[in-house]
Structure 1
Amino acid sequence: MAAVSAPAIEAGPGLLRQLLRRRTVMIGLVVLCAVALLALLAPWISPFSPSRLSIANRLKPPGPVYWFGTDEFGRDGFTRTLYAGRLSLLVGVSVVAFACVVGVTLGLVAGFFRRLDTPIARVIDAMMAFPDILLAIALVAALGPSLATVIVALGIVYAPRLARVVRASTLVIRELPYVEAARALGVPTWRILTRHVLRNLVSPILVQGTFIFAYAMLAEAGLSFLGVGVSPEVPTWGTMIAAGRQYVGQADWMTLFPGIAIVLSVLSLQLVGDGLRDLLDPRLRKDL
C-alpha cells in the first residue's frame, strides 16, 4: 500500500505574483525593506557614533549636519534612530522565533492529544486574560531588565496567540482522512505531526508571525518608554521617545523621528500580514 502524505500547500511563483500585485502589500514590503536596510547598514550610513556626546551642540534642530537634530547630550538623532532600528528588528525576529517554538509546540500537543487539550487550553486562556503590556512588565520585573529578558517576556506573552491558532487548525486536521489513514498504517506520531499536520499549518503560522513581529516592536518600545526594558544607555525607539518627552516644547524632533520610525515599521508589517492572510486563506482568496 502506498504511503499517505498530506496535501501540498498552495504556493509558488503564482502566489508571489498575486501578493506583489496588491499595491498596499508592495508599499508595505518596500517600506519594511527600506527600514531593515537602513538599520543593517547603520555603521556605514550614520555620520557619527550613537554614543558620541557634544554638549555644545545639544538640542540642535534638524539641519544639514544633524539631519534629525540632536538630543539633550548632543548626540545625533539620525544615528541613534538607525541604531535603535537594529535593536527593534532584533527583538522582533527573536520574539517571533521564541513564540513560534513555544506556541506551535503547545498548539500541536493540545490539538492532537485529547487528554492534554483541556489543561493546555486553560493555561493558554489564562495567559491571554492578562493585558499584554501588563504581563510583559510583570515578567520583566521578575526576571530583571535586559535585552534577553525582554525577548523572553514578549515571547511568553505572544506564544499563546500562536498556540490558539495552531490548536484550532490541528483539531480540524487530525480528523481528516489522510491523518486517519496514516494512523491506520502505523505511521509514528512524531511523523504525523511534522509531515502531515505541521506542514499544513505553515500559512497561519506565517501570517501570525508577521503580526507578532509588529506587536513585539510596539511592546518593546512601550517597555523602553516605561523604563522597564533594556538599559537607558542603549538606543531604542522607546528610550528615545521617553527621553524626548521632557523637551517636547523646545525639541519636538527628539520624539518625532523615532515615532515616525515605529509607525512606518509597524504599519508596513501589518500591510504585509494582511496581504498574506487574504491570499493564503482560501475563503478570502475567492473575494480577491
Structure 2
Amino acid sequence: MQSPALLFFRRLFRRKLVLLAAVILLALVLAALLAPWVTPFDPGAMKLVRRLKPPSELNWLGTDEYGRDVLSRIIFGARASLGIGAAVVVISMTIGTVVGLFAGFFRRLDAPVMRVVDATMALPDILLAIFLVAVLGASAWNVIFALSIVYTPRVVRVVRASTLVVRELPFVEAARAIGVSTRRILGVHVLLNVASPVLVQATFIFAYAVLAEAGLSFLGAGVPPETPTWGTMIASGQQYADDAFWVVLFPGVAIVLAALSLQILGDGLRDMLDPKLRKAV
C-alpha cells in the first residue's frame, strides 16, 4: 500500500508539465542555496579587459559591462530574488491566514477587516510597493516588508472566503455543541480545511513577489544595485542590450522560468486539491 504522500506526488506529477516546472524550480532553489560552491567566478570580480564578452567556454553566459561573469551573477541573484520571494510568502501567509480566519469566523470583525482589505487592493500592487519602498528606503528588508503589505490582503480574502464556508459545516457546529474551545476549532477544524487554497495561493504569491522584486530593482526602488539580483542585472545592462543582448536576456530568462514554474506548480496543486477539478486530472 502506497503512503499518502507518495500517492499525492504521483497524482501531482502525473502531468509532465507540472513535473518539469517542479524540476526547474528545484534546480533554481538548489543553485541559490549552493551559490558559493557552484559559481565558476566571484560575482563581484571585475575584469574590464573582458567587458561585454559574448558567451564562450570560459564565460558560459558572457560577461557584463564590468567584465563580471553573468552566470555567476544570475546564480547569486537567485539567492536574493528567491529569498525575498520566500520571505514575502512566509510573512503574508502567516499574517493573512490569521486575519482571514478571524474575519471569516467572527462576524463582528468581518466588515471592518474587509473594508481595509478592499481599500488596499484597490491600489495597483507595484505602485503601492514603490510608494512604501520610497518612504522606507531601498533595502532588501524594506522590499520584503512592502511586498508583504501588498500581498497579505490577497491571502486574507482567500482564507476569509473559505472560513465562511467551513464555519457553517456540521462538524464545526458539533464541535461547538460539545464545548470545544474556539481556539481549537480555529486551529484544528477550520485551519486544516482552509489549508488547501492557502497552499495554492502561496505558490502564486511567490511568483508575484519574484516579478515584483525584479520590477522594483529594475526601477531602482528595490535592492541596492551592488547586490546582484535579476532585476538589477537587467537594469544595469539595458543600455548595452543592443550590442550585448546576453546581459539582459539571461537574467530575464531566469525571471520567466522562476515565475512560470511557480505558476504551473500552483495550477497543478489547485487541480489536485480542488475536488471539482481532481477528476479531470
TM over 0.5: yes
Equivalences for residues 197-208 of structure 1 within 5 A: 197-208=190-201
Quote how far apart the aligned CAs of 1:61 are.
1.1
**Alignment partner of 1:229: what SS?**
coil
C-alpha distance in 2 between matches for 1:197 and 1:13: 25
Distance 1:16 1:253 in 2: 37
Q: Which residue of 1 aligns with 2:144?
A: 151
Match of 2:100 among 97, 100, 107: 107
Q: Which amino acid aligns with 2:208?
A: Y
Unaligned runs of 5+ in 1: 1-10
> Which residue among 46, 50, 54 is the counterpart of 2:39?
46
Shift of 1:143: 1.4
Secondary structure in 1 aligned to 2:61? coil
Match of 1:65 in 2: 58
CA distance in 2, matches of 1:70, 1:116: 55
Aligned equivalent of 1:210: 203
**Runs of 5+ unmatched residues, structure 2:** none
* C-alpha separation in 2, matches of 1:151 and 1:230: 10
The one of 129, 136, 148 aligned to 1:136? 129
* 1:102-158 C-alpha deviation (Å, 9 max, x unpaired): 110111011000001000011111111111101111111121111001011111111
- Amino acid of the structure 1 residue aligned with 2:145: V
Residue in 1 that maps onto 2:169: 176
Give the alignment partner of residue 195 of structure 1, picking from 188, 194, 211. 188
Could you list the per-position Cα deviations for residues 8-57 of structure 1 after superposition, in whole angstroms to 9, with x for gaps in the alignment?
xxx63322211111111111011111111222222112121111011111
Q: Find out whether 1:75 has 2:71 as its counterpart.
A: no
Instruction: Report the CA distance between 1:200 and its aligned residue.
Output: 0.8
- Match of residue 216, structure 2, among 223, 231, 249: 223
Task: Work out whether 1:255 is the aligned partner of 2:248.
Answer: yes
SS in 1 for 2:64: coil
Give the Cα–Cα distance (whole angstroms) in 2 for the partners of residues 287 and 17 of structure 1. 15
**In structure 2, distance between residues paired with 1:27 and 1:206:** 19
- Taking only the aligned residue pairs, the percentage that are identical comes to 61
Per the normalisation by structure 2, the TM-score is: 0.97
Query: Counterpart in 2 of 1:7?
Result: none
2:114 aligns with one of 114, 118, 121: 121
Tell me whether 1:264 sits opposite 2:273 in the alignment: no
Q: Distance in 2 between matches of 1:12 and 1:241?
A: 40
Match of 2:30 among 18, 28, 37: 37
Moved more, 63-72 or 221-230: 63-72
- Of 276, 280, 286, 2:279 maps to 286
Q: Give the Cα separation in 1 of the matches to 2:201 and 2:139.
A: 26
1:242 counterpart residue number:
235
Aligned equivalent of 1:24: 17
Kindly state the Cα deviation for residue 185 of structure 1 after the two structures are TM-superposed. Answer: 1.8
Partner secondary structure for residue 186 of structure 1: coil
Residue deviations 1:193-225 (CA, integer Å, cap 9, x gap): 001100111111110000101110000000000
Report the RMSD for the aligned CA atoms in angstroms.
1.0
TM normalised by structure 1 equals 0.94
1:186 corresponding residue in structure 2? 179
Matches of 2:35 and 2:169 in 1, distance apart?
50
Shift of 1:286: 2.5
The Cα offsets for residues 75-115 of structure 1, whole Å up to 9 and x where unpaired, read as 11111010001111111110000001111011101100000
Q: Aligned partners of 1:175, 1:64: CA distance in 2, in Å?
A: 64
Deviations 1:153-186 (A, max 9, x none): 1111111111101000000111111111211222
Q: Secondary structure at the match of 1:251?
A: coil
